[in-house]
Amino acid sequence: MSAEATSPGARSRRRGRTSIDLRRLGRAALLGPASRDRLPDAIGHVADAHRAHHPDADLLVLGKAYVLAEMSHRGQFRKSGEPYITHPLAVTLILAELGAETTTLTASLLHDTVEDTDVTLDQVRAEFGDEVCYLVDGVTKLEKVDYGAAAEPETFRKMLVATGNDVRVMSIKLADRLHNMRTLGVMRPEKQARIAKVTHDVLIPLAERLGVQALKTELEDLVFAILQPEEYERTRAVIADRATTGPSLDTIAEDVRRTLREADISAEVVIRPRHFVSVHRARLKRGEMRGTDFGRLLVLVGEDADCYAVLGELHTCFTPVISEFKDFIAAPKYNLYQSLHTAVAGLDGAVVEVLIRTHQMHRVAEAGVVALGNPYTPVDGAEPADGERADPTRPGWLSRLLAWQESATDPDTFWTTLRADLAQDREISVFPADGGMLGLPAGATCVDAAYAQYGDGAHGCIGARVNGRLATLSTVLADGDTVQLLLAHGPVQAPGDSGGPGPSPEWLDHARTPAARIAIAGWLAANPESLKVPESEPRAPGAVTAGRRGVANVVVDVPEDATVRLAGCCTPVPPDDVTGFLVRGGAVTVHRAECSAVGRMAALGRSPVAVSWGDEAECRVTLYAESFGRPRLLADLTEAIATAGAAIVSANVEPPSEQRVRHTYTLQLPDAAGLAGLMRAMRDVPGVFDVRRAQHEPAS
């Protein structure tokens, strides 16, 4: 954008300077050198590309926009020495070739006028309407004079917020960056590297999320050449050598064409060469490259049903590689992408990847949201309800980004978090138990799901059920999981107040989404007492009964009204060596001395509380039994437990995995002295190869 504009002898804009008369320029666009029904020659190639996608487009407004842009930028030159108007023309041509509609092209011609010339937004609005004005404003940079070092992150924040209301803003920005990257060679190497790094971290992931693959792949190659020049040259040499290694990909393509003709399926089969970065990744993954590794076959058909017909023929007539099959038609990607992916082996054993899609799917795969035209045009003349525009391009990742950026008031926090968020390049869908769907990045946990569903209300989350089973908040979710989040009753307040629990610092270790991390960090900062261990007045030791009836007594040095509970992660029993820790709410949790939780508590700076066993012999313990699957195994195990005089409080048997079964039993024993004998009896059951006490939190 304006970074490459130079105006010899020009000075910066000042308030009160005479503004350009847009009405005069508008008349010049209509009555100037070109006749009324003829566009200026300079944008003839843009008009041709635009008419190829939109035959009935009204090109008159493009003429007006070009004349304004040309006159406004007259006297400005790029660092390459070219007249500056060549830049908005090139950006507009990129978008026209992708199929952008007229409003987007008009805004792209004007996208630098407000930033680099005396044209104002009010003038743009008066001549071209609110939509064009909004798009131009969305891609206009913030002044470094006003924002200093924060200008770049705040400019991106502004663009992203504008993209949330109109996705065409980011389309123009991506095309703008592509043309600047194409002409980056005239800049200093250090500036090239800085721009390429921002492009790699922010704009390429945004292009991927918006589905604009045509821009994304070229940006990747341009960044690759700048940031990894040696690898780029090596990859270029590999591709050049490929030109003489034989027509194996062409041979398989012809076999596929013949197979589809014989099946009477009308299809276009083309070879799609891999771009540089794709070849580089394939070379790192596969080592020595074969001829078929340098490209893919693309099969284009007319209807969705034809895609599956092509798939059936290929899998019938060739040897399919089943592990490579993916159906993105039935389950489209979050960036609108649809295709069938498969791989087949030819007669010579060479494997080739095949993409199968309709012509419309191909347009969307290449141009993403740009191919949708104006997504805010009412369908069949119907106005959206409540005056809101229905936006098919507002996916879950964008909604999440817009939500958390409001809380990231610090530009550095926003910039760092944005890059980290965009680095997560896969999404999963999970389903709350009360209906709906949540889109989350891969690797998200129950903590992330809680904040995605309830916002700040998730501060009171105390647990979760995943697919109907109790799970810890740190549980990593998988695509398609059903999640029921359990919230505490009452307001969430700081420890020691009368309200419910709040987030602990450990939640930050489990949160993957920026929204969750920012909300947790904000609550912890507002409630610093949550990081402290509540103080207690010393008193003479006394026996305090643990929370559940029938659990062995322990003696601790805490106030009389304190609650004492035996940790479920290690279920201590007499005569284990034990230690205790004060936790939120003033309660004491008793752990076995060798429990891994003891080390974590100490690392957090929590002081141990002296604990000793009382006189009662009865105890409760959790045991894991590992066994090979066989009939009547569960009956034999429960019989052995009952014979040893233990009562089963709860039991869980996990589904078999590789012929192995894991049992979890919580047992009530009349005397801890009988624990060793009970474990021996369980090990003696045929098929059981290990019985051990709980040492960590049970897996859900």
DSSP state of 16: T
As a whole number of angstroms, the distance between CA 32 and CA 115 comes to: 26
As a whole number of angstroms, the distance between CA 290 and CA 246 comes to: 10
| CA nearest to 474, candidates 181, 696, 319, 242 | 696
Q: Is 456 a catalytic residue?
A: no
Residue 362 identity: H
- Is residue 463 within 8 A of residue 507, CB to CB? The reply is no
Query: Other C-beta atoms within 10 Å of 605: how many?
Result: 9
Strand partners of residue 21? none
Q: Is 116 a catalytic residue?
A: yes
For residue 203, give every residue at least 6 positions away whose Cβ sits within 8 Å of its Cβ, in sequence order, or none: 173, 174, 177, 219
Q: Of residues 116, 127, 176, 293, which has the active-site annotation?
A: 116
- Is residue 453 within 8 A of residue 438, CB to CB? The reply is yes
As a whole number of angstroms, the distance between CA 70 and CA 28 comes to: 12
- Residue 293 CA to its chain's centroid (Å): 28
Residue at token pair 């035959």 = 55
Written as one string, the DSSP assignment of 330-398 is TS--TTS---EEEEEE-TTS-EEEEEEEEHHHHHHHHHGGGGG--TTSPGGGPPPGGGPPP-TT--HHH
* 3 state SS of 451: helix
- Residue 175 CA to its chain's centroid (Å): 22
As a whole number of angstroms, the distance between CA 508 and CA 357 comes to: 42
Strand pairing of 340-345 and 319-320?
A: antiparallel
- Is residue 313 within 8 A of residue 260, CB to CB? The reply is yes
Residues in the chain, total:
700
| CA nearest to 623, candidates 640, 605, 604, 601 | 640
> What is the helix (H) or strand (E) element at residue 319, kind and residue range?
strand 319-320
Q: Of residues 115, 231, 616, 626, which has the active-site annotation?
A: 115
| CA nearest to 88, candidates 188, 3, 187, 179 | 179
Whether omega for the bond prior to residue 332 falls within 30 degrees of 0, making it cis, is no
**Which tokens hold the place of 661?**
């079964």
Residue 682 identity: M
Give catalytic residue positions. 115-116
